[in-house]
Amino acid sequence: MAIKKIQSALISVFYKNNLESIISLLQKQGVTIYSTGGTQRFIESRGASVVPVEELTGYPSIFGGRVKTLHPKVFGGILHRRDLQGDVSQAEEYQIPAIDLVIVDLYPFEETVAAGGTEEEVIEKIDIGGISLIRAAAKNYKDVLIVASKEQYRELQERLEQNEGGSTLEDRRYFAAQAFKVSSHYDTKIFNYFNDKEEIPALKVSENQYKVLRYGENPHQQAAFYGDLEALFSQLNGKELSFNNLVDVDAAVNLIEEFEGETAFAILKHTNACGVAIGESVADAYNKAFQADTISAFGGVLITNHTVDLAAAEAMHGLFFEVLIAPGFENDALELLKGKKNRILLEQKMKLEGKKLIKTLLNGYVEQDKDSRTESEKDFKVVTKKSPSEKEKKALVFALKVCKHTKSNTIVLSNDNQLFASGVGQTSRVDALKQAIEKAKSFGFDLNGSVMASDAFFPFPDCVEIAGKEGITAVVQPGGSIKDKDSVDYCDAHGMSMVMTGVRHFKH
């Protein structure tokens, strides 16, 4: 491809890190540099000559720096088409010099919002000149090379050195695409800032950080994660996280947040908990969680909300598992767990902050609020003659927390500190209950005196009938069926207690 020599450049940046080598390269190539303000002073301090933008336009920087480059001599120099004689003639007529390279970045709007800036501080970080220069240069990529981020300085330098101070059309189109990526992300963040209050019905999502994954759910599917995983976790050991790992890690982190203030442990497989427990220590909680399903725990994702000590590490070290997540690891525990080189160990640094869930559906997207409702004893409405005991109330709360994070239809059986079993993702609630009972018995649990939680109402009394015959003594469900009375009547007739919450927790 033909190489277009760069003869002039406009440079106006907020971040000046790593710009020095670019300046040196342009200086050696005899490029005319236009600049203003702090960037001009920076370039001149490096020994390069600069034509002030104010000299080009005949206007000073005005309105506290809000208007500096917004002028026909700047935008005309960028936008006029070099292969159109009419444009070239007008540029000559109005003494508008051509600008071949634009290096510009944007005020740190996103960073100012994240730092908790005031409304006035945030508004002042909405870039006007910079975003306009980016769009203008990217639009006219046939003639102009645009660099819109400090992240591209190294790549720019490599290409300029390769092309002896010039650029190919292929280069310019590539950098134009990168520039529109920058500008669209910036505008999305601004819109979402305003829309946090205005609630205009529009879905705008933009993530620049990404990580290519080994594959998707299956080896024949390509996949990538978009977001900043390093802000959430420090990976202390193991292979790269896979798509399926990430899905399970997300489920695990959301589940364990239900147990704030308690020492909890959970083991998950395909996003569903096969073991959850509260204990006196992490080791105690792990052992009880593992008891709930010693088979499914193999290859699972493990999580706790307390620091993993040596006793806990020794308890779980013999198990093959994919991932362990914890807020911290004692040194001796970490060294032991690192004994398996592929074992992924994640130190969680912060809680999840998202309030919305988004997924593709048909030919569009659906967005919903995150299910942040967790019922406590004060939300229970006793609907039977018998009230649950204090211990049973605690057990019902525990069972509900697990139930909320299990695929529908689901039934959860537990006591006040340990999951016995759950029926997961069944097409009927009766099948979910039967699955849970069979599983609990297979791992040696006595269901007499246990409790049952359901993610949705019982359409018929069959579930409480089956539960009662197994010795289950207390039930929690949302209620709302036209046949609620049938279930209540059975409980009354057989000495069982039932509470309703009025809140359904479907999970698909």
Q: Residue 278 to residues 41, 261, 269, 290, 301: CA-CA distances in angstroms? A: 62, 10, 19, 12, 17
Give the tokens for residue 390: 């204090």
Helices (H) and strands (E) in the chain, counts: 19, 23
Q: d(Cα 458, Cα 483) in Å, to the nearest integer?
A: 8
Q: d(Cα 172, Cα 155) in Å, to the nearest integer?
A: 12
Helix (H) or strand (E) holding 34: strand 32-35
Q: d(Cα 401, Cα 476) in Å, to the nearest integer?
A: 11
Q: Which of 270, 317, 494, 507 is catalytic?
A: 270
Give the tokens for residue 30: 């005899």
Neighbouring-strand partners of residue 381: 500
Q: Which of 139, 185, 338, 340 is catalytic?
A: 139
Contact, 344 vs 235, CB < 8 A?
Answer: yes
Helix axes 20-28, 153-162, angle to 10 degrees: 20
Amino acid type, 329: F
Q: d(Cα 407, Cα 266) in Å, to the nearest integer?
A: 16
**Cβ neighbours around 174 below 10 Å, total:** 17
Q: Is 317 a catalytic residue?
A: no
Q: Is 494 a catalytic residue?
A: no
Q: Residue 247's Cα: distance from chain center in Å?
A: 11
Which residue intervals of 318-442 are DSSP H helices?
Answer: 331-337, 390-404, 429-442
Contact, 92 vs 118, CB < 8 A?
Answer: no
Does 409 sit behind a cis peptide bond, omega within 30 degrees of 0 on the bond before it? yes
**Cβ neighbours around 236 below 10 Å, total:** 16
Q: d(Cα 137, Cα 149) in Å, to the nearest integer?
A: 14
Contact, 46 vs 23, CB < 8 A?
Answer: yes
141-154 burial, b for 16+ CB within 10 Å, e for fewer? Answer: bebbbbbbbbebbe
**Cβ neighbours around 28 below 10 Å, total:** 10
Strand order in the sheet with 497-500: 381-382, 497-500, 474-477, 451-454, 411-414, 419-423
Q: d(Cα 133, Cα 68) in Å, to the nearest integer?
A: 11
Which residues form the catalytic set? 139, 270
